[in-house]
Amino acid sequence: MLNDFNIIGDHRGSLISIESKIDIPFEIKRIYYIFGNKNNVRRGFHAHKNLQQVLIAVSGSCKILLDNGQSKEEILLDSPQKSLLIQNFVWREMFDFSANCVLLVLASEHYDEKDYIRDYNQFLDLCKQK
């Protein structure tokens, strides 16, 4: 789900404020960012059992492939005002990173390798069980 943040600004520049459970539908427990990607690199290739994420291209742009096991959708993130909410049990792949892309990720949970689904066929099987 794409969402637009409100921009606060004047002649000096712009600011976007993000608050847990107000602008983001969950408590933020982890923040990380992806940058310096090489040309033609794809990242992600996983889903999560419980974790939700909000992705923001704070600089540059990239595309996100979302797959819920039944349909696929490609999203372009190209503005720090846009955010993309990715629910659990959604396969994601990030690609077409611009040279200056910084992709900020806000996560609902702390890192837990057991929450990852890294095998696509296993992901599809789990989606059928839901």
For residue 35, give the H/E element and its range: strand 30-35
Is 46 one of the annotated active-site residues of the chain? yes
pLDDT at residue number 98? 95
> Could you give the CA distance from residue 88 to residue 69 in angstroms, rounded to a whole number?
12
Would you tell me how many other CB atoms lie within 10 Å of the CB of residue 68? Answer: 15
- What phi and psi values does residue 70 have, to the nearest 5 degrees? -120, -35
pLDDT at 9: 86
If we measure between CA atoms, which residue out of 85, 60, 61 comes closest to residue 5? 85
How far apart, in whole angstroms, are the C-alpha atoms of residue 111 and residue 113?
7
**Residue 92, pLDDT score:** 97
Tell me the residue type at 106: L
Tell me which amino acid residue 84 is: L
Q: Which domains does the chain have, with CATH numbers?
A: 2-6+21-129 (2.60.120.10)
- pTM (two decimals): 0.92
What confidence score (pLDDT) does residue 57 get?
97
pLDDT in tens, the chain (130 residues): 888 898 998 889 999 999 999 999 999 999 999 999 988 899 999 999 999 999 999 999 999 999 999 999 999 999 999 999 999 999 999 999 999 999 999 999 999 999 999 999 999 998 888 7
First-to-last C-alpha distance (Å) of the chain: 20
